[in-house]
Amino acid sequence: MQDFKGAFLDFAIRQQVLLFGEFKTKAGRMSPYFFNAGLFNDGVSLKRLGEFYEQAIADSGIAFDGLFGPAYKGIPLAASVAIAFAATGRNLPYSYNRKEAKDHGEGGNIVGAKLSGRILIVDDVISAGTSVRESVELIRAAGATPCGVAIALDRMERGQGSLSAVQEVSRDYGLPVLHIVNLNDLCNYLTGQPEWSDTLAAIERYRGQYGVGE
């Protein structure tokens, strides 16, 4: 595991963004863990989160020209990633959408930089893929090209069929999906730590029931 992955999991657990217990998912499954990126809710944690995204994106080698954050959670995420890249010397434009089009002022439903070139979508997780679909449509309608999706956590569990929600997005839109960490990384992180042995066992049981491979 790359150093930044373990550091990210440390960070997410300390911030109580990654919680362990029993949580009901949108699909009605009882999950032994829960990830809520909305709890990166202050300046220090958001700055650090952007740095983790930047490391994962840079490590992937993907070529892109701008960032797009789907409303609502993706808005601060894309902004934090743009700031993190600026700190490395790369100044990137970023944009986001309104849920409802504005009929006055500049109008439209895209805020921020004009969408052009290759656009990387930044979100927290992919559940049903709805925000990705809407983002792809908005980016293409603006004459730009969606080139990938960056998320914080890939749960690696089945979506509508035998594939994971992430794999379904890759299949349906032909886009690579990058992540800071995935379920493999989480299990590797918990392995060998006695205080997490029961949690790891619960995750492995859940994974056996709902998980998919990469």
Active site residues: 102, 104
Total count of residues recorded for the chain: 214
Q: How many C-beta neighbours within 10 Å does residue 176 have?
A: 14
The answer to whether the beta carbons of residues 150 and 56 sit under 8 Å apart is: yes
The answer to whether the beta carbons of residues 15 and 66 sit under 8 Å apart is: no
- Which DSSP string do the residues of 24-88 spell out, in sequence order? E-TTS-EEEEEE-GGG--SHHHHHHHHHHHHHHHHHHT---SEEEE-TTTHHHHHHHHHHHHHHT
Q: How many C-beta neighbours within 10 Å does residue 48 have?
A: 16
Rounded distance between C-alpha atoms, residue 8 and residue 125, angstroms? 15
Structure-block tokens of residue 66: 């701008």
